Structure 1
Amino acid sequence: MTDLIKQIAEDLQKQIEGFEPELNVSDIGTVTEAGDGIARIHGLANVKAQELVQFANGVMGTAFNLEKESVGVIIMGDYGGIIEGMSVRGTGRIASVPVGDAMIGRVVNALGEPIDGKGPIASTSFRPIERIAPGVVQRQDVDTPVQTGIKSIDAMIPVGRGQRELIIGDRQTGKTAIAIDTIINQKGQDLVCIYVAIGLKKSAIARTVGILEKNGAMEHTIVVVAAADESAALQYIVPYSGCAIGEEFLETGRDALIIYDDLSKHAWAYRQVSLLLRRPPGREAYPGDVFYLHSRLLERAVRLANKYVIVKKDFNEALAS
């Protein structure tokens, strides 16, 4: 037995002495350019689109452009401390936000962090901000109305649960007022409301929150904010963050109303980020995928069917010739 133990010890010693450590730097990059909320990274050979990356100072970013020699990253935080030569590493995951009932009544930023001074949010669940919209078979017919509290709308152009509705008009014509009135009208109902403020002045956001609190509507409302003085990157991701928060209620059998105020400023933020990253501009300098930007967001607003059945059928004749 002693000889066996000695032999094992000698074998282990030989393996330890012959071990040569190797450093894998495929997920490490270096900042070559930084400013205006974006950074260009050399390296990160294995990074994926929309993957979170972390700078050496702890600030997070999202891989936005995957180029041959570099990666364009939008910075989700304070970019003042990010300088050339700083190291960056991939995380292998995409951006996510806290979700759940603990979010109700709170005002949070684009990353789901509380900004209302009421302390941390006691949520243990997180959801990625990007997600593929449910397919046609999984959707339920629009058959249940959302009462806005405005008789002309409810009578002539009712809004249904699972429906998308555009509120369009000139400046100062009451578009936001319609949305706020709809949120207030849900008091005591079974509908959770999410108000996403994109590129608005902080004074306007504070006024809206004050109106909701005055009317007791914050008890069923979540406010997600990317103000006008925040980076274009945060204004770009904030509607997706709000949508992820709403999807948590969707998949737990509850209904949620989400309001984006407004998507024009979201398109402006996307244009700014795209131009900074030198994406090819199209009409009015918007990138070519600006329509997909909003369609992939709005198609996530659905009402899931309680059950659905796919019937298998054998076709005796060719469907096309």
Structure 2
Amino acid sequence: MAPVKVESPKQTATNLVDLIRREIEDLKVSPDIQSVGIITEVGDGIARIYGLSQAQYSEMIEFPTGGEPLYGIALNLEEDSIGAIILGDDSKLKAGQKARLTGKIMEVPVGPELVGRVVDPLGRPLDGKGPIKTKKTSPIEKIAPGVIARQSVTQALQTGIKAVDSMIPIGLGQRELIIGDRQTGKTAIAIDTIINQAKQDSKVVCIYVAVGQKVAKIAKLVDRLEKEGALKQSIIVVTSAADSATLQYIAPYAGCAMGEYFRDSGKHALIVYDDLSRHAWAYRQVSLLLRRPPGREAYPGDVFYLHSRLLERAAKLSDALGGGSLTALPIIETQAGDVSAYIPTNVISITDGQIYLETDLFYQGIRPALNVGLSVSRVGGAAQIKSMKKVAGKLRLELAQYRELAAFAQFSTDLDAQTKSQIERGKRLTEVLKQPQYEPMPVGMQVAILYCVTQGLFDTVTVDEVKQFEQTLIDHLEKKYPKLLAELIKEGDVPETTFDKIVTAARDVLPQPKSSEVNSSEVAKEEGKGSDGAKEEK
């Protein structure tokens, strides 16, 4: 048997050292450098962190909690500390805990997988329909498209509301403010617009952002959209009144990022911010907690930038970039009709027009309670279809004259026949423009009805019977003249013969004027001509 060779302790030590040396030489390690700070204060959704001098504005900060980490966003960058808003339950954090930078800015899930779902601003589902598996994320803060990347508004976005589509038209890529006191029907206009997109099969993806709304109101709204078949092409982003101010602050930006995905894909999207008054309140609360100096109405100095950077992201992109669009309908709640307050004037100056709703009109039963004098659409007129433009020009003028004459008639009983005739037609016009909620009307039908009113075909109907005869006319046109309605919505000029056919169709169902009525109307016209002639002679 061969003798066993035993190594001396010295040789064993040498071999071990060589082995360790080889292992060290072969080891490839990259240093894991982290910027770590210490929480000095926490509460009310705000954390003040000592250190983190490399932090960038809006950078995500991770707060390890032992379980699932909490995240925050750096908003205040000071010399030796930062102020951050916490996205979640701040009761899990306490002073002395660590916080580290992530090197990322906040992103939310985007894509077609979100359509038909109810989510929070972080993209987490709230509807109990299971997890949402999206393939892409997008930063909530993005620079708005530049001048070269945009094109003029040329395509109409039909709301289905007669008063809006005729007198305050909205185009794809426009930003149209809906403003008014509480309980005047602001949300109703936005919801009817969403429902109309589904009913007209417009392929416009709708995003509804609820900022600090009641949970019961949101649940009712979601249920209604589902009932009307509009939820299948909508995304609902929800923050309730019980959610923290930080979540309410980021909600519109998160919703905008979701809408931008469709805009950048060459599709069309509509986003409703309900409402930006509460958004400004949430930002004011966050800013005061971060000890930023207050300005007018205690808002911070950058409150204009808060809304301008959000609303400028709504645009119609150039054909080179796909021709997609994002249309914004921000909502602002006024206090006692004061449109000259800080936030209303800011948003009016940012947007391309406003739909102003009045409490007095609402309680008079005129719904939508649209004030035609204060409402305007600065760019939507270019997108309006030719047939509606022809009808709407006369409509707005007649309504303005009626309002003026009605105010004058309160102080005078001795009115000439022409004035009485204008007031009577104005009453019928106002009645026709009334529209129940959740009943948007196709634009071809709107043109037909409004043309009949402006041509005086409803003059033979009493004011109380206007809605009844309007419905009769709608049923008659749908049943016997579907091709005629299709002709009205074609691009380009609509021939006069088409409008003549509408008049013929209307006379089938509307009562004809008696000979005495015809004579009196002719006398009124002659009187009008005579007074005009007298003015010219003078």
Whether TM-score is above 0.5 comes out as: yes
Deviation digits for residues 236-283 of structure 1, max 9, x if unmatched? Answer: 000000000000001110000000000000000000000000011101
What's the CA shift for 1:15? Answer: 9.9
1:207 matched residue in structure 2: 220
**Segments of 4+ moved more than 3 angstroms:** 9-12, 14-17, 21-26
1:13 matched residue in structure 2: 21
**Runs of 5+ consecutive residues of structure 2 not aligned to the other structure:** 1-16, 322-538
The alignment status of 1:89 with 2:100, answered yes or no, reads yes
2:164 matched residue in structure 1: 153
State how 1:133-282 maps to structure 2 within 5 Å: 133-187=144-198, 188-282=201-295
1:317 matched residue in structure 2: none
More helix by percentage: 2
1:298 matched residue in structure 2: 311
Residues 60 and 77, structure 1, Cα contact 8 Å, conserved in 2: yes
Of 28, 36, 53, which aligns to 1:28?
36
Deviation digits for residues 14-35 of structure 1, max 9, x if unmatched? Answer: 9949x9x998776111111000
What's the CA shift for 1:13? Answer: 2.2
More strand by percentage: 1
Write the distance in 2 (CA, Å) between the matches of 1:137 and 1:154. 29
1:39 matched residue in structure 2: 47
Deviation digits for residues 163-214 of structure 1, max 9, x if unmatched? Answer: 1010000110000000000000001221000000001111111111111111
Question: What is the TM-score when the length of structure 2 is the normalising length?
Answer: 0.54
The alignment status of 1:55 with 2:63, answered yes or no, reads yes
Write the distance in 2 (CA, Å) between the matches of 1:13 and 1:300. 59
1:126 matched residue in structure 2: 137
Q: Identity of counterpart residues, as a percentage? A: 59
What's the CA shift for 1:307? Answer: 2.5
Of 104, 121, 126, which aligns to 1:115?
126
Deviation digits for residues 45-84 of structure 1, max 9, x if unmatched? Answer: 2111100011012011001110111110000111111111
Aligned length: 299
- Point out the structure with max Rg over C-alpha: 2
What one-letter code is carried by the residue in structure 1 that aligns with 2:55? V
Question: What is the TM-score when the length of structure 1 is the normalising length?
Answer: 0.89
**Runs of 5+ consecutive residues of structure 1 not aligned to the other structure:** 1-8, 309-321
RMSD: 2.1
Deviation digits for residues 142-162 of structure 1, max 9, x if unmatched? Answer: 000110000110011100111
Residues 194 and 246, structure 1, Cα contact 8 Å, conserved in 2: yes
Write the distance in 2 (CA, Å) between the matches of 1:127 and 1:95. 8
